[in-house]
Amino acid sequence: MMAQIQHEKDRLDLTPKKFVMWLFVFASFMIFAAFTSGFIVYVGGKGHGINVILPDVFKYSTAVIIISSVTLFLASRAAKRLEFGKQRLFLWLTFALGILFCAIQFDGWYILTNKMGIYFVNPNAARSFIYILTGVHILHIFAGLMFLLGALITSYRNKPQAINLYRMEISSIFWHFLDIIWIYLYVFLLLNQH
């Protein structure tokens, strides 16, 4: 009975924090909406697009982030089933895929600069939006990795299940949001290559 009361207290104390996460997601969404709107206005005024074929590595990073959402879903399901070993395994996989996503993005920037001669500062400012959009997304990925790390640490400590599930939930909300945003950004950039 006492454990149930503590569980309920933990659940109630975490509800406002989850609301703050949704506010953070909404604010992040607005940042990406502002940048893509800025791109549309700039390109509309200048009458030309990026005029760059995106490196193929961005396809690979898209596959990696989609797979990472699947592994995070599996981690969340394992946490709900009290399968903590599987939860940790899938959390580590998600974390590793997040690092791989970043490495692939940096490789994409390397290809853009060193092989294609497309720099952040250039005569066609529309091209700079490639770096702005992907760069802001990478910053969000770093934040997502911190959430995943928090969920991992909680899974190894003797914390109440309500806190474990809360950490999994906020990590999932943010990480799946990043997945959706990346797919949107990638398609947006693909559609504006010319």
Cβ atoms of residues 126 and 43 within 8 Å: yes
- Listed in sequence order, the residues at least 6 apart from 71 whose beta carbon sits closer than 8 Å to its beta carbon are 90, 93, 94, 97
Q: Helix count (H) and strand count (E) of the chain?
A: 5, 0
Cα-Cα-Cα-Cα dihedral sign, residues 79, 142, 175, 70: negative
Half-sphere exposure of 79 (CA within 13 A, CB side): 29
| Encoded amino acid at 82, one letter | L
Q: What is the pLDDT of residues 96-134, one digit of tens each?
A: 999 999 999 999 999 999 999 888 888 888 889 999 999
Give the whole-number percent of the chain exceeding pLDDT 70. Answer: 92
How does pLDDT run along the chain (194 residues), one tens digit per residue?
Answer: 456 645 555 555 677 788 888 999 999 999 999 999 998 888 887 667 788 889 999 999 999 999 999 999 999 999 999 999 999 999 999 999 999 999 999 999 999 999 998 888 888 888 899 999 999 999 999 999 999 999 999 999 988 888 899 999 999 999 999 999 999 999 999 998 87
Show me where the domains of the chain are located: 2-191
Please choose, from the candidates 28, 27, 19, 20, the residue with its C-alpha nearest in 3D space to the C-alpha of residue 181.
Answer: 28
Quote the CA–CA distance of 82 and 76 in Å, as a whole number: 10
Q: CA-to-CA distance for 66 and 169, rounded, in angstroms?
A: 18
CATH topology of domain 2-191: Four Helix Bundle (Hemerythrin (Met), subunit A) (1.20.120)
In this prediction, residue 16 carries a pLDDT of 78
pLDDT for position 123: 81
Prediction pTM value: 0.88
Q: What is the C-alpha separation between 96 and 91, in angstroms, rounded?
A: 9
